[in-house]
């Protein structure tokens, strides 16, 4: 419990006036929290943002934000490279601090972020009905002790996406694996709910782009569960599929980029009686069945904060430590190859980084 349970009744600050910031702003307004301020180094972008969310003041910088008594919530929606730096400027002992994924770029940054009060990572895929159903089925042993998971992200990213600096380390800080793959990998780690034992990764590069545009990741979890992630930005459309298999059961979650875990799970069991058990479980698991998941995710976090809870107290109110498993798995792949080496890869090459 904490004594600052009314902090979320004040207004919100949005840091980063892009698409993610706009969705955060609209989510706050949906829950009765006014957006009081916005910061973005591009002042024209910040002004346009302000017009869309009710006219908050546009800040010149983040100096003094930590002492502003009117701000009860902050959302860090800027490029990942500066998430932790800006979170440290905005954190306060009576304030809820949301940080978009990936929350950090390195283990060091993750440790710094863990020290900040009331910090909540934006992991809205965890709120979806489908992933919560699979998590429950795994917890009840319906997929056996060692499920295997295939994670397939075939997404389309064109020149407009990279034109905003997402092709560079000094602007964005990471490529497909951490910037996008973290969404699905975190959801799978949430469903399996066990530590990682071993990681192997492969990064692929395209001409003229510093960061990886495709990647493959194989993870062994403690106890024997396995997960394999494949991601590419070269697809013709956005397709996402998470497939969990074990003990004669397949559980598939499919959709596009937009919150696929809000969809229904497709269960197939070799045993008809087990199929009925799985369907009954799916009918009773609580979870959000519509997109955007960010709106109910932020709503539950605000409610939890008002009730005096601290992040990590429930699966609806996660802490930075809760997302460390998925981030650390990717950090281990990145650590296997120096940033300089990655930046000078010739076109269409790959780098394999085995780690234990």
pLDDT tens-digit series, residues 300-351: 999 999 999 999 999 999 999 999 999 999 999 999 865 445 545 544 445 5
pLDDT for residue 345: 53
pLDDT tens-digit series, residues 179-212: 999 999 999 999 999 999 999 999 999 999 999 9
pLDDT tens-digit series, residues 41-50: 999 999 999 9
Distance CA 49, CA 39 (A): 10
Third-level CATH fold of 7-125+294-319? Rossmann fold (3.40.50)
Tens digit of each residue's pLDDT, the chain (356 residues) = 555 444 445 999 999 999 999 999 999 999 999 999 999 999 999 999 999 998 899 999 999 999 999 999 999 999 999 999 999 999 999 999 999 999 999 999 999 999 999 999 999 999 999 999 999 999 999 999 999 999 999 999 999 999 889 999 999 999 999 999 999 999 999 999 999 999 999 999 999 999 999 999 999 999 999 999 999 999 999 999 999 999 999 999 999 999 999 999 999 999 999 999 999 999 999 899 999 999 999 999 999 999 999 999 999 999 999 999 999 999 999 998 654 455 455 444 455 555 44
Distance CA 226, CA 115 (A): 31
Query: If DSSP codes are grouped into helix, strand and coil, which group holds residue 43?
Result: helix
CA-based max dimension of the chain: 62
pLDDT for residue 10: 92
- What is the torsion angle, in degrees rounded to the nearest 10, for the CA atoms of residue 130, residue 134, residue 135 and residue 139? 150
Third-level CATH fold of 128-291+327-355? Dihydrodipicolinate Reductase; domain 2 (3.30.360)
pLDDT for residue 54: 85
What residue ranges do the domains of the chain occupy?
7-125+294-319, 128-291+327-355
Say if strands 11-15 and 71-76 run parallel, antiparallel, or are unpaired: parallel
For 201-269, give the DSSP string.
EEEE--TT-SS-SEEEEEEEETTS-EEEEEEESEEEEEEEEEEEEETTEEEEEEE-SS-GGGSPPEEEE
pTM exceeds cut of 0.85:
yes
pLDDT for residue 338: 54
Query: If DSSP codes are grouped into helix, strand and coil, which group holds residue 320?
Result: coil
What percent of the chain shows pLDDT beyond 90?
89
Which tokens hold the place of 233?
């930005």
């Amino acid at each position: 419990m904490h004594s600052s349970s009314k902090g979320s009744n004040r207004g919100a600050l949005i840091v980063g006036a892009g698409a993610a910031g706009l969705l955060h702003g609209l989510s706050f307004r949906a829950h009765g929290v006014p957006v009081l301020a916005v910061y973005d180094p591009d002042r024209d972008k910040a002004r346009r943002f302000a017009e869309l969310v009710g006219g908050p003041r546009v800040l010149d910088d983040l100096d003094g934000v930590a002492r502003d008594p009117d701000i009860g919530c902050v959302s860090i929606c800027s490029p990942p490279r500066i998430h932790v730096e800006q979170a440290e400027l905005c954190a306060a002992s009576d304030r809820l601090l949301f940080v978009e994924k990936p929350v950090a770029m390195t283990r060091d940054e993750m440790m710094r972020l863990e020290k900040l009060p009331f910090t909540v990572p934006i992991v809205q895929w965890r709120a979806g009905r489908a992933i919560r159903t699979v998590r429950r089925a795994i917890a009840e042993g319906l997929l056996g002790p060692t499920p295997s998971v295939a994670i397939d992200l075939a997404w389309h990213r064109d020149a407009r996406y990279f034109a905003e600096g997402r092709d560079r380390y000094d602007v964005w800080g990471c490529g497909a694996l951490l910037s996008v793959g973290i969404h699905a990998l975190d959801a799978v780690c949430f469903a399996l709910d066990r530590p990682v034992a071993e990681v192997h990764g492969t990064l692929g590069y395209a001409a003229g782009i510093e960061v990886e545009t495709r990647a493959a990741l194989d993870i062994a979890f403690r106890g024997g569960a396995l997960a394999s992630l494949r991601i590419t930005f070269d697809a013709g459309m956005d397709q996402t599929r998470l497939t969990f298999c074990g003990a004669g059961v397949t559980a598939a979650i499919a959709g596009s980029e937009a919150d696929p875990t809000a969809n229904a799970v497709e269960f197939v069991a070799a045993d008809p009686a087990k199929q009925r058990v799985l369907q009954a479980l799916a009918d009773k698991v609580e979870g959000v069945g519509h997109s955007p998941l960010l709106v109910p995710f932020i709503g539950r976090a605000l409610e939890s904060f008002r009730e005096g809870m601290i992040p990590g107290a429930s699966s609806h109110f996660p802490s930075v430590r809760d997302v460390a498993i998925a981030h650390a798995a990717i950090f281990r792949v990145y650590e296997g190859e120096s940033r300089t080496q990655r930046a000078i890869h010739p076109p269409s090459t790959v780098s394999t980084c085995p780690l234990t």
